[in-house]
């Protein structure tokens, strides 16, 4: 049987998972593909480090350069993480004309255009299914399955840590800090959790999805990013009373109808990560714990949903093996660029600044329990031409201060920020206003 040999760079959680999955299902893959996959070596930083997966000592090396440059190695699988040495590994392999499989979302987010240009120049290809949403095959969907569609909107729950925290806050009525500490103890959150809870991990993934969907590369600095630290159990509870569930969403939308006027004429696209009120009737509201889900709307296919485990050794290994199979088949049949890693296909689109985006809003204020407070708040919003759809002052909050919930009609983000800044200065307002967008999925 035809054999394709690959070098594995990284023997940690994902790398070990890939090796074990290949040992388990390598024969099955060979029978399906008509070719075998063979590991030439596994490059690691420390030969003595304890690993979750048992890796053969004979395959281990600390010299990734020799492994990548070995003429017998036809495909390079980069699973070491980071954006420095990993970038060097990927560029070295691509310049040798070798296809690369990677799960490195941070690397793609920071250096995608350079990597894709290098692949094109040297006749190689870059496969990155595992970089977004673990075992969910959404990259292949956007690159191949929906090739006949214009993607009009994409909403993703793409960070399992945040979804786990928000799920437990809702089900247990717990505060963010308590659930985060427990998630760290259980291994669902890192000891230093900012990459996840501040939205940066989700922004890396959302940028990759937006770039594929709209055919222009979205730079990390263009993505409006908010995390979930400001979400309290009160917000979770009030959202539930209103028929919503709070989720951290990656949002990619064509702005039609309400789109801003732009002199350059480029198609305006919203690309952002933020906590949002999701209607309980929408399927994303029921995605719980560490699971991921991505809702994609195409102009031909309509609404589609992709759901599954978004992280971990086995789900990520599944996507790596899928890419490795594609790379091996492309090599066998001499079709290295059958599906290019990235092609600009929609002209020069542009990411619209968040200040220009129009949304609906949930606002929670902590105000003094005294007459006339509503009137002062409403006056500020009226002057900003922002309409209130409903006001809730829940009972059972006796004391000097009480929470007030406002549901706001469509308003530009910039106008809302200015209005809330003015409201925060009112003497009756005793804490920083909390603003959460409402995602209508229209």
Residues in CB range of 200: below 8 A, 6 or more apart: 194, 225, 227
260 — pLDDT class (breaks 50, 70, 90): very low
Same fold, 2-140+313-332 and 141-308: no
Partners of 279 in the beta sheet? 244
* Element at 306 (helix H, strand E): strand 302-309
DSSP strand pairing (358-368 vs 401-412): antiparallel
Whether 321 and 29 have beta carbons less than 8 Å apart is answered as yes
Alpha helices in 103-215 (DSSP H): 105-121, 138-140, 160-172, 176-186, 194-197, 200-214
Task: Considering only residues 370 and 413, tell me which one the structure prediction assigns the higher pLDDT.
Answer: 413
What tens digit of pLDDT does each residue of 302-326 get?
Answer: 999 999 998 889 999 999 999 999 9
Does the pLDDT of residue 350 top 80, yes or no? yes
For residue 142, what pLDDT is reported? Answer: 94
Tell me if the domain spanning 141-308 has CATH number 3.30.360.10: yes
Annotated catalytic residue, options 105, 170, 205, 253: 205
Does the pLDDT of residue 347 top 60, yes or no? no
User: Would you say how long the chain is, in residues?
Assistant: 442
What tens digit of pLDDT does each residue of 171-201 get?
Answer: 999 999 999 999 999 888 889 999 999 999 9
Residues in CB range of 67: below 8 A, 6 or more apart: 7, 9, 40, 41, 43, 61, 73
For residue 208, what pLDDT is reported? Answer: 95
Whether 269 and 214 have beta carbons less than 8 Å apart is answered as yes
Model-level pTM?
Answer: 0.93
Residue 417 falls in the annotated catalytic set: no
Does the pLDDT of residue 408 top 90, yes or no? yes
Q: CATH top-level class for 2-140+313-332?
A: alpha beta
Q: Which CATH superfamily is domain 357-438 in?
A: ACT domain (3.30.70.260)
Counting residues of the chain whose pLDDT is more than 90, the rounded percentage is 82
Please work out, in degrees rounded to the nearest 5, the angle formed at the alpha carbon of residue 94 by the alpha carbons of 206 and 16: 65
Whether 8 and 22 have beta carbons less than 8 Å apart is answered as no
DSSP conformation letters of 393-411:
--SS--SSEEEEEEEEEEE
Q: What is the average pLDDT across 14-30?
A: 96
For residue 264, what pLDDT is reported? Answer: 59
The mean-pLDDT minimum among 102-106, 239-243, 368-372 falls in 368-372
CA 187/CA 201 separation, integer angstroms: 17
Going from N- to C-terminal start, the domains of the chain cover 2-140+313-332, 141-308, 357-438
Q: For the chain, how far is it from start to end, CA to CA, in angstroms? A: 52
* Element at 40 (helix H, strand E): strand 35-43
Phi and psi torsions of 392, nearest 5°: -125, 125
What tens digit of pLDDT does each residue of 134-159 get?
Answer: 899 999 999 999 999 999 999 999 99
Task: Considering only residues 349 and 134, tell me which one the structure prediction assigns the higher pLDDT.
Answer: 134
């Amino acid at each position: 049987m035809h054999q394709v040999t690959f070098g594995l760079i990284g023997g940690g959680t994902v790398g070990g998972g890939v090796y074990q999955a290949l040992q388990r299902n390598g024969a099955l893959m060979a029978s399906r593909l008509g070719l075998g996959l063979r590991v030439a070596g596994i490059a690691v930083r420390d030969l003595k480090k304890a690993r979750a997966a048992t890796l053969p000592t004979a395959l281990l090396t600390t010299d990734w350069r020799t492994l990548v440059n070995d003429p017998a190695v036809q495909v390079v699988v980069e699973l070491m993480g980071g954006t420095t040495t990993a970038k060097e590994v990927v560029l070295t392999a691509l310049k040798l004309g070798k296809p690369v499989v990677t799960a490195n979302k941070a690397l793609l987010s920071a250096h995608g255009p350079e990597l894709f240009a290098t692949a094109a120049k040297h006749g190689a290809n870059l496969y990155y299914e595992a970089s977004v949403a673990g075992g969910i095959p959404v990259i292949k969907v956007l690159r191949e399955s929906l090739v006949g569609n214009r993607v009009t909107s994409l909403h993703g729950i793409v960070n399992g840590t945040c979804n786990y925290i928000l799920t437990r806050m809702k089900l247990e009525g717990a505060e963010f800090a308590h659930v985060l500490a427990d998630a760290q103890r259980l291994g669902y959150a890192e000891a230093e959790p900012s990459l996840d809870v501040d939205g940066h991990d989700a922004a890396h993934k959302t940028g990759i999805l937006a770039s594929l969907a709209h055919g222009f590369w979205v730079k990390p600095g263009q993505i409006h990013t908010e995390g979930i630290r400001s979400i309290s159990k009160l917000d979770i509870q009030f959202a539930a009373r209103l028929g919503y569930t709070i989720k951290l969403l990656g949002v990619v939308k064509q702005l039609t109808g309400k789109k801003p006027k732009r002199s350059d004429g480029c198609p305006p696209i919203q690309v952002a990560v933020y906590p949002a009120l999701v209607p309980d009737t929408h399927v994303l509201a029921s995605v719980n714990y560490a699971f991921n889900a991505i809702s994609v709307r195409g102009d031909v296919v309509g609404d589609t949903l992709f759901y599954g485990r978004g992280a971990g050794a086995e789900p990520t290994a599944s996507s790596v093996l899928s890419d490795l199979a594609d790379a091996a088949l492309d090599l066998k049949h001499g079709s290295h660029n059958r599906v290019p890693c990235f092609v600009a296909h929609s002209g020069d689109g542009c990411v619209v600044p968040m200040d220009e985006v129009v949304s609906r809003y949930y606002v929670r204020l902590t105000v003094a329990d005294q007459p006339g407070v509503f009137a002062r708040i409403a006056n500020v919003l009226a002057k900003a031409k922002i309409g209130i759809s409903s006001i809730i002052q829940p009972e059972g909050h006796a004391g000097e201060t009480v929470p007030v919930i406002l549901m706001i009609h469509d308003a530009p983000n910039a106008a809302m920020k200015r209005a809330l800044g003015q409201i925060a200065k009112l003497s009756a307002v005793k804490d920083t206003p909390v603003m959460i967008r409402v995602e209508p999925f229209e």
